[in-house]
Structure 1
């Protein structure tokens, strides 16, 4: 009964979202690419306020992965508007990467507000193909609310391992698929077609922790949590992996 209801509700959402995907297929949704960074920048303060303690907990060990000279080079993939800058340790060098060039205006605002960091560059690249970043050249890679919208999670994690120095760390914070026994799981599968468009490719039904666990890191530390957010993105994972 529940399975049947899920299929019917999802079909309704697919039908409602069809005009949006048609516009995208015709290349007429480019304007939304420009608007999306503004939307993300506006939401950042609210997300950080609700997740402040979790982010502080997540990033408290970043400084431990500095090299022998005490310098720390950090790559943030899917950096967006720079929502994490305030949590990074004083003096670290940040390399930013995002496929949407329209984030740069808001990224610069975050850079100006976080003078305790050194900013190396803003690379307009997809996380699946970061050829501009050399092998084993960064101490830390950070990825928050990004693996939900990349095209290939496994490839992103392979690229992450490639650019990390041996002994370096990958820090992540992501919303994920809920347990099959919950109504959140039902809502995620039902609303996914509409959410995908308005979230600029965000997928709310990924069991991302499975990909992280299978990515080949020497150590994996994952915590599941319920975030105080919109119900369909309430299930989260956070943690870090060591290469």
Structure 2
């Protein structure tokens, strides 16, 4: 049953790429919870948009990790530095960091200004601009196009120049919601974060239950 549901979701994503654009409007800062864990859960089911001269890229956020204040695994733990300053901006600003010299990770500041914390965008369901995404990840199957934080930024063309960008401004790179009465949030699961050497047992990874674009081993998924 799960495998069939996943196949349907993948087909739906591919089908939407040729349909009319989704009616997405930017999220306002006032829409965002002023607390990291609540914000991580809230962002599941929202949209990431990158407007390019050649067209729009859209993905539905299906997996988010939280790194709250005081978390020793978070980049804000050591206090403000030049390279992590974006994590200390008011909630809704991008923090983009090159990890292991290989992949960029797209995070978003998650607390009041001056409080260092963030949420990591781990995966999206690709909905618009699939050809442009695929051109940045040649040979990747649709399911793996944006399934994982490094794959997401590669497919969306997100790099260091977006560090500090206000994702609530509705400009080139932004977060949004459907411009309609908000549908109920789909089932959200919670489990432990991936790839950490400490504090790995904290339930701070939120994801849309049953969505095939969620990253990581299936055994790490549990229902909240």
TM-score, with structure 2 as normaliser: 0.30
Q: Which has the higher strand share?
A: 2
With CA pairs under 8 Å and 6+ residues apart, which has the higher RCO, 1 or 2? 2
TM-score, with structure 1 as normaliser: 0.28
